Structure 1
């Protein structure tokens, strides 16, 4: 995929969301709708199970600040929270993302701006399916310790739109770098071939005489007599015709 392809469309994102009820409101009764602490712990173990990374290793929990986060500590901080948000975010071209963690962090920073609060979250990337995806656990509290309530429309559409914007920009940046690299390789190949061709012509004609070489160089686009004089000096230092030494010196010092 090239940068031109990405400029014509946005990347499609799939977002699955679930609000997990942990504790009733003060004075309320605990019913079946509430998830137990054991079930919450089991979910974290599932996210970290073997075979989910690119190398088939265990999943690694990370956060906004750390590449290796303590998932158990995160759960302990949220034991008394009323609820927990769980998201699964997957991009259609996620396999092309160079750093899924940084993309997730960009998304969570944007959510913080949209919700006007710092967010306490952890995430685990999974690469064990055809579409790499990220599991995000978000505590249901604001940075002031109050219950975090996210509008249904934002959960249903806003997060997906924000993720699409971020992934489209990131893949566009990567594609632009890739395009630039391909152009540089093609340019190097083109001019590398021309330099090799010039060198071969010099070696083939050196015994004919230095004047004919300078005549050929003047007609070669992008080369002047001074540059060719230096090239020639390197190629002919051991096999110059009797009359060429003085001419090489004159050509290389013009």
Structure 2
């Protein structure tokens, strides 16, 4: 049995109303005795999007106290910084990718003849990516906002930076972890900054969160509109 809401465990910054509405129209409105494979794949992916974003948010909140001067030198400080940064970056990227994966199966349920979502077959699902989802929607519904949102997302400069950082952290620690301190004559100044990827860590965290959440909001707003527009097709 499917829940009627996906975003009950979502936190600040996630487009909970949009994803719940899209999920309801595309998956829940017409229940069945047995949950078919496509509905299960879509449901599990949407839950993953919610959870990965939440994990990223919680990592961001835990990072901030570690950027002060008093935190430096404490046991496991570097480990905590690097691990939480990994959770933040990978979580945000995964929230986007899980959204795309779920949307692929939502689209596969109503794709018009000649525009089938062929990667929905069980032996091809590993090939589902943001780009393949965008391509499938652009072929089936080229004039719709969701196709446009999916197509433009991989080209977004902020998303490219997020993906680049994700690829770095998937294989090694973040480079350039450094301390910046303003000096005055005779004594240290008050300004003390932890920087990574060449940017102050607190600013980097805020920027990545804000940008990824804006992308998720745009994507799920378009997905909500798509699900409402095609709601009668999902009920066939």
* Higher helix fraction (1 or 2): 2
Q: Shorter-chain TM-score: which interval?
A: under 0.3
Higher RCO (CA 8 Å, separation ≥ 6 residues): 2
TM-score, normalised via structure 1 length: 0.26
